[in-house]
Structure 1
Amino acid sequence: MVLQIHPSLEEARTVVTEDVNEKDGLSGQANFPCAYTAPRSKVNLGVMLGVFLPTIQHILGVTMFIRLAWVVGIAGIMDTMILLLLCCLCTLLTSISLSAVATNGIVESGGVYFMISRNLGAEFGSAVGILFYLANTVASSMYIIGGIEVMLLYIFPSLTIGGSDVHSDTGMWGMMSHNYRIYGSMLLLLEVIIVAMGVRFVQLLAPVSLFVVIVSILACFAGGIEKALHHSGQHVCMLNEQLLQSRIFFPHGTDLSTLCKRCVKSEDISDDFCNSTTASFCTHFTASTLTCANAFPGINAQTFYENMKRMYMDAGESYPDVAADDAGLEVSQDFHTSFFILLAIYFPAVTGIMTGTNMSGDLKDPQRSIPCGTIAATLTTSTIYYALALLFGASITGPVLRDKYGRSLDSSMIVALLSWPSPWVVIIGSFLSTFGAALQCLCSAPRLLQSIAKDDVIPALAPFSKVTGTNEPFFGLLMTALIAEFAILLGAVDKIAEVLDFFFLMCYAFVNLICALHSLLKVPNWRPRFRYYHWSLSLTGAALCFFIMFASHWQYALFSIILTFVIYKYVEWKGAKKEWGDGIRGLALSTAQYSLLKVEDKDPHPKNWRPQLLVLIYDTWSNGIIDKQNVNLIDLAGQLKAGRGLAIVIALIKGSVWNCSDRQKAEKVKEKIQHDMLRVHLRGFGKTLLYDEDQMDGCFTTLFQSIGIGGLKPNTVLMNWPEREEEKAVFAVELVEAVANDECIMLTKGITAFPSLSSDRLTGYIDIWWISHDGDLLMLTAFLLKQNKVWRGCKLRIFAIGEIPERNVELKEMLQKYIYMLRINATVFIVDDSVNQKDVSETSTGGDCSAAALMIATKEGKIDHKNQKLVKDAASENTEIQTETTFTRDNCSSLSKRHLSVYSQGEKEFHDDENWKMPSLGTIKRFNDVIVGNSKDSQLVLLSLPRPPISKRKILSHYMFYVDTLTLNLQRILFIGGSGKEVVTINS
């Protein structure tokens, strides 16, 4: 049942009493379809069996037994404490963020995937969820191989196919690697059968294996105390400060208690050293002292102090800056070590904090169990790691700690020899730790896959959404087992595991980002029951995750991020659309609100001016021609998007908001607009406007005054010249109201001939007729069009009409200089004054701001210094160019008193239509002849929009006839009329 936005008391009570997994979600969440083949049966695990014990079992893996002592020996106790602090702090901060997110609403099956997808969106959730699934799946292979290694090296060496001699044959096709493949496949099959028996059976086994692991840890502490009291630790043979391998003194399998009897400089030993090594090392051996030292003195202050110093070494060194002999008689390091390399090696030991969260679908009360169990498990394991590190540093000598493979002790497990009463306690415990960790991975990974498949974000995963009657994702288990088997057969599990650690870190980072994001945005729905969180802790946790990733292996970190991005884009492209109210959208809204509040509600600086388009289209979409007009107008807006401005497309629909059919029609038209905008990659908003015929004026007045928010509002109206009689009345209102509201106007004529984005690229000319002060605006528009692939092949030509023939050359030079300063490539042509320039200027949107008038005013000093557009005389190279060059309509009015303007002198109010008069028909035809004679074959002609009257009657009776006559025999025309606020500067 879905809880409605305004539920009744009975509805709310019903939702609360229902099984959480039976319902679809709460208010504001998605309604998820059920993908189950049978009724679900929850296991209802509690904090202990459901979260705490499984998480501890997953974290306390074999790395703790075989690598922690070596890390202490190499890094020293102090650096190890810092290393553990980074690892444990990362997981603790993530656990805190996880607890906050998990208690902010119902957590269904899928755990961490569910939380990320519902908070950061389906794309991020799927990307991180798939990586986390792969990490858990292949981690099970890593644990299984680790268990087989413990079994064949320490428990049952006789089971090794090929005998113990092949233990070191670990190449890709080595015999020991084949042993790992064979026995690993068998152990994987056994674990899959156990997991298939059900999660409750697995969790009942968890305390048993975990009990043995805890006993193993306690045995280590007991051994440290016992050896300090009785001095019964195993001894090793050393040459001065260098540790020697035991194989020098006796064959493999010999009792280690006899080592001291053989650690003497006998003739046989001396011959082995001098015959197998270089002369310099033979001399070194002869001059050095061979001693049998206690490797496990037990807990004591001297050993603790000696192990404080760091001992980072390069490959092949037996001591810092001391190379080992070539024959391998000394214990040496097999690769270069540093703090961050050790960090990368040991970090897998602290992963697994999400184990209980991944079992969320089987928890009785996830909101209680996840915080308590996860944080308790994290603190418990962190305490264990710190205690063991201090124990090893105080109980085992440094050279033996650095013996990673136990070569000085007949390849024995170092930590096992410390334990009491028997090394077998730790050996069995380490094997069971790998067995239990693999079980937890195989148990949680299929549930993660089933959750991703159930949400149907990736259609290919649909078969894995089904579960059995006992809520077991059997198909997901089979897929998980198949991937794990492939990883085992591949052989390079250690290399794969290094990359998978970064997948875990990516998941942890996103959980921290979720908590920080919601805490900072303070969204009303962010009300977690877990109160002990803070956004600063979450950001620290996320930063720590990325720091560990890049500090360890930046190549793997980049690979993980790129893979996450690839999966994100794939889900965005192929996945189903889900509206889950994600935090990314909330962040976008908050950022937009902040930016809008920072942008002042006033005209932008000339440098920042760009066309913010308001595209007006008509409502008729059934007629093919009209449909093409609307589509081509949207295409043209898409071709102008190089301006990077706002785009709002509004369809004008005649109808009433009270009429249901009109509103349905408006909704369909809106969908069509949004589809066309998406097709041409025009980013913006598609809307519809319903208007009554008797309210037309008020509708458009309100539209132009109210559209936009703050400083982000349209400044340019893109509209089409009406072709049908019923459109002309609407066009007249649009034009008058746009002019009245100081909007820049772009008016297309012949829109059906304009190219679409899918058209072939045009070649030829784009002609600009500079008649009024809008010439620079026309050039900017042509420049923006040329950035699009459709118009890129066209060349710009600028035509200006010369009033004074003897100054035409000078006029051309000045225009070329001005265009050069605008950084626009165009060719300038001066047309003889075959048509009266005064008549042409009278019809423009401003006064006489033509190219000729501009030149004359500049030469005569009639443009004041502040607003001068061109102060550099073409004839003088020493004149300095003014850096602040703006030119507005107010300046235009003062240039020449011979020409009329839409504004009266000193006022910005419209006057009666007596100020507007249509030029004579002969003048219009002569001007048309001039344009056609020069631009008939051009791909596009840009003209200044003739100044319209303010009377709709005069627009319909005179103005439209005038414009039609002016544009006869021209294919594509784009009129541009500035409001006087648009400026194009020569500034950078």
Structure 2
Amino acid sequence: MAKKGFGTFKGVFIPSFEAIFGTVLFLVLPMLTGAMGFYNMLLIVVLANSVTFATTFSISDCVTNLRKVGSGGMYALAKRSFGKAFGGSIGIQLYLAQAVSIGFYVIGFAEPLQPLLMKIPMYASWAADAGISVALQKQLLATVLSVIAFIAALVGADFVSKIQLLIFFILIAAVGSIMISPFFEKSVVGKSIFTSAPNLTGAGYAIGFWAAFAAFFPAVTGIDAGVGMSGELKDPRRSLPIGTFLAIFVTLLGYLVVTYVFSLMRPELLLPQADGSVPSLVKIFSSTVPFASYMVLIGILFATGSSALAYFLTAPRTLHTLANDGLLPNFISFLGRDFFKDGREPRWATVLTFLIAVSIIWSGDLTFVSTVVGICFLVVYGWINLAAFLERISGNPSFRPTFKGHWLVSFYGFAFAIGVIALFNIWIGIGVFVSQLILFFLLLRFRAGNKLEGVWWGLIFSVLQWGFKRAKRLIQGTKNWRPIVGVFFFADETSYLKPELEIAERISSFKGLALLNALLPAGKELPELPPEASVLRGSDFSSLIVGASFASLPGGLGVNTVMLPLDRRLNHLDLMDEFSSQGKHVLIYKHGSAFQESPRIDVWWKGKSNGNLMALLAYIIRETDLQLGFEKKEIRLIRMLSDDNQKNEIEKKELESLLELSRLDGSILVLDKDERPFDDIVSEHSSDASLILMGAPGQRGAGLARWFSLDKRGFDKQIEKFENLPPILFVRSAYSVPLFDEY
């Protein structure tokens, strides 16, 4: 069956209008006006509405940028901008605030209804005989209204919208009766409630400006009732901005006129009494403007009832969308379905919403819970404004809303919403934010695969772009050297892929960058690779590696270190000579036993030219392991003595001084001259290390020149001698990297 869909008036304007013209107008605004005066309340009303105006600007930005809005209201918009995990955390809080609000509204309905019913003899007699207290009567009445609203919501949105249309006209009559009441006051000696001039500055009652602002602000947060109907609209991209703006504009004018009328009343009639009770408009109007008294009573009842109805529509739809998006635990996934196979109403979600509302009615003191709910709504408004702000400033090319807002408006809405939270209760506000972060991390891990979506990429890209542009102005010298590693691996050799990428990550994760490049022989099928890896397909692998290594990067950056796999298809000697001549360090990785089994990294030192880089890499790897939660490793510098005893003593002291100055927190092992093959010596002393760093074959040096002066074939044979050792990084340094600041 085709979905009908609501238009702007019935789908957005009426729900928002009825939620904004709620109990605050009838029960709270008179007292605030009497205490603060017209000027202060005029400023409060305008300031409060400025937040919802800014939020509506942000909503319009987000809505008109989407081809399809979908159901879920503000949650749907948050999800589009912030991604599944963060948007889901906002949606869950929004749903709970909506569901709990129903409980408050039906209790507000019961407040004036209970004393009215007590005037009926049969009801009063029944309550007295049953010994039912006033508080219990109000809870029972609120429960009855909840059941009625629940049944109406189960029937469907179309049925509820017809009821809301009736309530709309009743509310207009109730508010209108207040506006015209000064013209129809009966002349009763000593009982006049209106004065000839407005109360402009207040009656001196002890209430601060921001306290009054916090008391009034919930009146203007009803725009969520209309936005929450996004999935039921014919054209949400058009209806949501127009309907919400129109509702705010009309209700703002209404509040300004009603505030002026209240300022014409004698302040002492509106201020709290000695016992703390606030005078009722119904009672105030009863003596001189009786028709207004009746209309205010009806207005209070229908305002609270309509708000409860509105949230009985929006809350289940938010929950229904959360369930269908896979953000709820599997055992309650049925909340995304209807009772009936082909039904479109969120009836299971409506049942849970009803249970939450009833539990709130019977929970007792609601002051704390009401503050939490108000802050939850403010948090949602703040995030919607922030979403539009970030979309604007990130310059995302895909963000092209037809509504032409400005980032300053959205930022104002975000900042003011956060400020109002502090006015309500800063500690509860912090608690709400913390609970949302917990929800976010849980959803990120279990529902989003630890992947952020949405505006974050555009924002981070903009920050990087800004940084790269300015990095071009900086001199990139050896001070504060960081590894920018071009990592190369053969895509058809999957057995060594994981360990090679792990060592690359440990070198670059926290101190530099790693650029992954998969070498794929021609004719081979592309296997599953890390998503960030580039694929280099061909047969001349040396040319592919050299070309990729010299490619320019943003910000004037370039690869300063090349990491090669140990594979016979490569001529490592030629590549090392090529990169060294161009000022690029070379690392050749040989896989071995498990990387984390030993708490020590061995560096075979043979002088500063190559040794400094090896020592620095060992330090970087150790610090990365600590960041990842592994045990701290000892760095051990190993030095073989030569025939020159005097030189040996100088070099030993040099190593000790180097450790102290560079703060590598390691140890030194000095070995006597040994005529055995070098691989035997390494095996004896480093077979229990977690990682070994040593000079790459091909380097020429005194004493071991015959070992380092090798062609490709000899290189491969020498490497094979280290086959049974732990992982090894063979290092060829293009220049001496300083280990500490010389100045």
Structure-2 residue corresponding to 1:573: 445
Structure-2 residue corresponding to 1:148: 110
**2: CA distance, partners of 1:730 / 1:413:** 97
The amino acid that maps onto 1:691 is G
How many positions carry a matched residue from both structures?
Answer: 726
Structure with the larger RCO, 1 or 2 (CA within 8 Å, 6+ apart): 2
Deviation of 1:93 after TM superposition, in Å, equals 1.3
User: Helix, strand or coil: the match of 2:550?
Assistant: helix
- Please give the TM-score of this superposition, normalised by the length of structure 1: 0.67
User: Helix, strand or coil: the match of 1:752?
Assistant: coil
User: Could you say if the C-alpha distance between residues 134 and 232 of structure 1 is closer, same or farther in structure 2, counting changes exceeding 3 Å?
Assistant: farther
Structure-1 residue corresponding to 2:458: 586
Structure-2 residue corresponding to 1:194: 152
User: Helix, strand or coil: the match of 1:781?
Assistant: helix
Deviation of 1:579 after TM superposition, in Å, equals 10
Moved more, 736-745 or 567-576: 736-745
**Conserved? CA contact 2:13–2:247, under 8 Å:** yes
- Asked if 1:129 corresponds to 2:91, the answer is yes
The amino acid that maps onto 1:630 is L
**Conserved? CA contact 2:571–2:712, under 8 Å:** no
**For each residue in 1:913-955, what CA deviation from the matched residue of structure 2 results, as whole angstroms up to 9, or x when unmatched?**
xxxxxxxxx7xx5656665665565554322334459xx9963
- Asked if 1:493 corresponds to 2:450, the answer is no
- Asked if 1:364 corresponds to 2:205, the answer is no
From 380, 387, 402, the counterpart of 1:507: 380
- Asked if 1:822 corresponds to 2:662, the answer is yes
**For each residue in 1:393-420, what CA deviation from the matched residue of structure 2 results, as whole angstroms up to 9, or x when unmatched?**
2212247423498859699755767754
Deviation of 1:968 after TM superposition, in Å, equals 9.0
**2: CA distance, partners of 1:480 / 1:456:** 19
The amino acid that maps onto 2:694 is L
Structure-1 residue corresponding to 2:428: 556
- Asked if 1:113 corresponds to 2:78, the answer is no
From 171, 183, 196, the counterpart of 1:300: 196
**2: CA distance, partners of 1:538 / 1:945:** 57
Structure-2 residue corresponding to 1:700: 545
Deviation of 1:632 after TM superposition, in Å, equals 1.9
Counting aligned pairs with the same residue, the percent is: 22
User: Could you say if the C-alpha distance between residues 382 and 528 of structure 1 is closer, same or farther in structure 2, counting changes exceeding 3 Å?
Assistant: same
**For each residue in 1:685-738, what CA deviation from the matched residue of structure 2 results, as whole angstroms up to 9, or x when unmatched?**
33332222xx3332222121127444444322233434xxxx244545654544
Deviation of 1:188 after TM superposition, in Å, equals 0.7
The amino acid that maps onto 2:336 is S
User: Could you say if the C-alpha distance between residues 969 and 555 of structure 1 is closer, same or farther in structure 2, counting changes exceeding 3 Å?
Assistant: closer
From 533, 536, 540, the counterpart of 1:689: 536
From 659, 675, 694, the counterpart of 1:943: 694
Deviation of 1:831 after TM superposition, in Å, equals 4.9
Structure-2 residue corresponding to 1:976: 731
Structure-2 residue corresponding to 1:448: 318
**1: CA distance, partners of 2:468 / 2:433:** 31
**2: CA distance, partners of 1:475 / 1:711:** 57
The amino acid that maps onto 1:201 is F
**1: CA distance, partners of 2:126 / 2:493:** 80
**Conserved? CA contact 2:273–2:279, under 8 Å:** no
User: Could you say if the C-alpha distance between residues 134 and 560 of structure 1 is closer, same or farther in structure 2, counting changes exceeding 3 Å?
Assistant: same
- Asked if 1:721 corresponds to 2:580, the answer is no
**For each residue in 1:514-542, what CA deviation from the matched residue of structure 2 results, as whole angstroms up to 9, or x when unmatched?**
322333334343333333x2111111111
Gaps of 5+ in 2: 701-707
From 574, 589, 614, the counterpart of 1:778: 614
From 956, 966, 975, the counterpart of 2:712: 956
User: Helix, strand or coil: the match of 1:606?
Assistant: coil
- Asked if 1:51 corresponds to 2:12, the answer is yes
**Conserved? CA contact 1:127–1:567, under 8 Å:** yes
- Asked if 1:62 corresponds to 2:33, the answer is no
Structure-1 residue corresponding to 2:703: none
**Conserved? CA contact 1:618–1:653, under 8 Å:** yes
- Asked if 1:462 corresponds to 2:333, the answer is yes
**For each residue in 1:736-776, what CA deviation from the matched residue of structure 2 results, as whole angstroms up to 9, or x when unmatched?**
54435432122234x22242xxx54x235634424342222
Deviation of 1:497 after TM superposition, in Å, equals 1.9
For the pair shown, which has the larger CA radius of gyration, 1 or 2? Answer: 1
- Please give the TM-score of this superposition, normalised by the length of structure 2: 0.88
Structure-2 residue corresponding to 1:875: none
**2: CA distance, partners of 1:106 / 1:200:** 22
Deviation of 1:565 after TM superposition, in Å, equals 1.8
Deviation of 1:359 after TM superposition, in Å, equals 1.6
**2: CA distance, partners of 1:464 / 1:160:** 41
User: Could you say if the C-alpha distance between residues 512 and 164 of structure 1 is closer, same or farther in structure 2, counting changes exceeding 3 Å?
Assistant: farther
Structure-2 residue corresponding to 1:311: 205
**2: CA distance, partners of 1:371 / 1:611:** 50
**Conserved? CA contact 1:58–1:440, under 8 Å:** yes
The amino acid that maps onto 2:64 is T
Deviation of 1:454 after TM superposition, in Å, equals 2.7
User: Helix, strand or coil: the match of 2:413?
Assistant: helix
**For each residue in 1:615-647, what CA deviation from the matched residue of structure 2 results, as whole angstroms up to 9, or x when unmatched?**
22233446xxxx1x3322222233334643112
**1: CA distance, partners of 2:649 / 2:678:** 22
**2: CA distance, partners of 1:471 / 1:355:** 19
**Conserved? CA contact 2:193–2:266, under 8 Å:** yes
**For each residue in 1:239-279, what CA deviation from the matched residue of structure 2 results, as whole angstroms up to 9, or x when unmatched?**
xxxxxxxxxxxxxxxxxxxxxxxxxxxxxxxxxxxxxxxxx
The amino acid that maps onto 1:612 is I
Structure-2 residue corresponding to 1:745: 586
User: Could you say if the C-alpha distance between residues 497 and 712 of structure 1 is closer, same or farther in structure 2, counting changes exceeding 3 Å?
Assistant: farther
- Asked if 1:647 corresponds to 2:514, the answer is yes
**For each residue in 1:931-982, what CA deviation from the matched residue of structure 2 results, as whole angstroms up to 9, or x when unmatched?**
5665565554322334459xx99631344445666x6985453322212174
User: Could you say if the C-alpha distance between residues 298 and 714 of structure 1 is closer, same or farther in structure 2, counting changes exceeding 3 Å?
Assistant: same
- Asked if 1:183 corresponds to 2:141, the answer is yes
User: Could you say if the C-alpha distance between residues 830 and 416 of structure 1 is closer, same or farther in structure 2, counting changes exceeding 3 Å?
Assistant: farther
**Conserved? CA contact 1:70–1:402, under 8 Å:** yes
User: Helix, strand or coil: the match of 1:690?
Assistant: strand
User: Could you say if the C-alpha distance between residues 47 and 818 of structure 1 is closer, same or farther in structure 2, counting changes exceeding 3 Å?
Assistant: same
**2: CA distance, partners of 1:399 / 1:809:** 98
From 214, 230, 235, the counterpart of 2:187: 230
- Asked if 1:618 corresponds to 2:576, the answer is no
The amino acid that maps onto 1:718 is M
Deviation of 1:137 after TM superposition, in Å, equals 1.2
User: Helix, strand or coil: the match of 2:403?
Assistant: coil
**Conserved? CA contact 2:483–2:560, under 8 Å:** yes
**For each residue in 1:873-908, what CA deviation from the matched residue of structure 2 results, as whole angstroms up to 9, or x when unmatched?**
xxxxxxxxxxxxxxxxxxxxxxxxxxxxxxxxxxxx
**2: CA distance, partners of 1:744 / 1:114:** 50
Structure-2 residue corresponding to 1:520: 393
**2: CA distance, partners of 1:524 / 1:616:** 33
User: Helix, strand or coil: the match of 1:542?
Assistant: helix
**Conserved? CA contact 2:85–2:452, under 8 Å:** no
User: Helix, strand or coil: the match of 1:774?
Assistant: helix
User: Could you say if the C-alpha distance between residues 99 and 520 of structure 1 is closer, same or farther in structure 2, counting changes exceeding 3 Å?
Assistant: same
**2: CA distance, partners of 1:404 / 1:604:** 74
**2: CA distance, partners of 1:474 / 1:390:** 43
Deviation of 1:133 after TM superposition, in Å, equals 1.6
User: Could you say if the C-alpha distance between residues 416 and 719 of structure 1 is closer, same or farther in structure 2, counting changes exceeding 3 Å?
Assistant: farther
**Conserved? CA contact 2:52–2:220, under 8 Å:** yes
**2: CA distance, partners of 1:161 / 1:701:** 96
**2: CA distance, partners of 1:936 / 1:582:** 48
Deviation of 1:440 after TM superposition, in Å, equals 0.7
**Conserved? CA contact 2:106–2:308, under 8 Å:** yes
**For each residue in 1:424-455, what CA deviation from the matched residue of structure 2 results, as whole angstroms up to 9, or x when unmatched?**
22112111110111111101222222222233
Q: Give 1 or 2: higher helix fraction.
A: 2
User: Could you say if the C-alpha distance between residues 522 and 416 of structure 1 is closer, same or farther in structure 2, counting changes exceeding 3 Å?
Assistant: farther
